[in-house]
Amino acid sequence: MTSLNALRRPDRYPRSAAYDPQWVVDNCMGPNPLWLLEDLGRDCVLRPGMKVLDLGCGLGMTSIFLAREYDVEVWAADLWIAPEDNRTRFRTAGVADRAHPVAADARELPFDEGKFDAIVGVGSYHYFGTDDLYIGYITKFLAPGGQLAVAVPSVRRELRDVGGIPDHLRTGIGWEVLSFHTPNWWRFHWEQTHLVEVTAARMQHEGWADWKLWCEVCAEHSSDETVRRGSVRDLRMLDADRGEHLTFALITARAPA
């Protein structure tokens, strides 16, 4: 048995520890979004009043965290989740005045160029950002000196360098695991454009262990049976992986001032 309170880890994630673990488990769409965002926040500068785009915000939990913890104004954009649903969640969380839900495809954003002081993506950027040309598109929406910060599932070595997709990743995730890349892959990809300066590109400390703990809690405590079943499947994959491949990458960069 893993208790829900195992998600409260004030030593490593003090801000996330203040959030009700049941609420966190029931509002996530991927592994440990608050831990990832809190960690990513250590590599960024987020000041009150900044305009931040939460790209692929899912059920808006990361947008709520951004609005509450950093007092920034957030545009919460997602392709699959209806903005009305996120509006209700933002009202309930008391951040409706500074979190704006938007229905948007990351490839066709309905914003003015240069609008955002920061663009943040937690567990979403790998769905579109591996397109070599996407960085040229997304950086247009950054203000001068604006920051791009993403946390994505990652591999410790590029899959082409390990000879292909290991069986347990093919079973657990499928060929889509090809969108998982190392922090250095992302660094090279962004840096070579000269459109941004990469300020950090690292693996999350104990990323695999965090992911496993998250799945153990979700497998027992999620209110959604599909999530419980998915977590059991992910646990099988993580156990087979033993931390050899799977982790998270945190990459941050800044546009020229």
| Interacting residue ranges for ligand SAM, rule: CB under 6 A | 28-30, 33, 56-58, 61-62, 78-81, 105-107, 122-124, 127-128
Q: Do the Cβ atoms of 215 and 229 come closer than 8 Å?
A: no
Please, what is the minimum distance in Å from the beta carbon of residue 36 to ligand SAM?
7
* Alpha-carbon span 75 to 224, nearest angstrom: 27
* Alpha-carbon span 255 to 257, nearest angstrom: 6
**Helix, strand, or coil (residue 34):** helix
Nearer of residues 29 and 237 to ligand SAM, judged by Cβ? 29
* Alpha-carbon span 59 to 26, nearest angstrom: 10
Residues near 232 by beta carbon (within 8 Å), at least 6 away in sequence? 215, 219
Please, what is the minimum distance in Å from the beta carbon of residue 159 to ligand SAM?
20
Q: Which residue is nearest to ligand SAM (CB)?
A: 58
Nearer of residues 27 and 162 to ligand SAM, judged by Cβ? 27
Please, what is the minimum distance in Å from the beta carbon of residue 22 to ligand SAM?
15
Please, what is the minimum distance in Å from the beta carbon of residue 118 to ligand SAM?
15
Please, what is the minimum distance in Å from the beta carbon of residue 198 to ligand SAM?
21
Nearer of residues 106 and 142 to ligand SAM, judged by Cβ? 106
Nearer of residues 22 and 191 to ligand SAM, judged by Cβ? 22
Outline where DSSP puts E strands in the chain.
51-55, 73-78, 99-103, 116-122, 142-155, 197-203, 246-254
Nearer of residues 83 and 123 to ligand SAM, judged by Cβ? 123
Residues near 169 by beta carbon (within 8 Å), at least 6 away in sequence? 159, 177, 237, 241, 245, 246
